[in-house]
Amino acid sequence: MTKQAVKTELFASKAPLEWAVIANGQLSTAQIPIDAQGNVVEGGIEAQARQTMENFKHTIEAAKLTMDDVTQVLIYVTDRSQLPAFNKVYAEYFEAPYPNRAAMVVAGLAREEMLCEIVAYAAVPQ
């Protein structure tokens, strides 16, 4: 197996992580609602969902893929009431056939002010 990091223009995290990795014909990524300076965006769940999805789309495109290549998305929110707003934003980024998806309500995320996070996988043409 050869593992390759995807070079993005996203904020360079101080944590030991890559924003996306390609291995075995699959891209794996996790995205959060941070801006170019590494700050969690303000404005509630809709603003955070949009920033998360923009970071995600940027990463997919940096890997020379499209949103149609995305096969699965795992959505994490900190309150069930946030799902309709997240779904509204999410729907702007995909067309049928949609990726497989799961949504989880969690007690909290890595940064206290974060309301959402996604983990996603995409097929990489061989």
Provide the 10 A C-beta neighbour count for residue 107.
Answer: 5
pLDDT level of residue 79 (50, 70, 90 thresholds): very high
Question: For residues 99 and 42, what is the distance between their CA atoms, to the nearest angstrom?
Answer: 28
Q: Which fold has domain 19-123?
A: 60s Ribosomal Protein L30; Chain: A; (3.30.1330)
Q: What is the pLDDT of residues 66-76, one digit of tens each?
A: 999 999 999 99
Q: What would the two tokens of residue 58 be?
A: 């940027």
- Average pLDDT score over residue span 109-124: 98
With residues binned 3-state (H G I as helix, E B as strand, rest as coil), the percentages for the chain, rounded to 5, are 25, 30, 45
Which pTM was predicted?
Answer: 0.97
Q: Is the pLDDT at 116 greater than 80, yes or no?
A: yes
Q: Model confidence over 20-67: pLDDT tens digits?
A: 999 999 999 999 999 999 999 999 999 999 999 999 999 999 999 999
Torsion of the alpha carbons at 104, 114, 93 and 43, rounded to the nearest 10: 130
- Can you give the residue ranges of every domain in the chain? 19-123
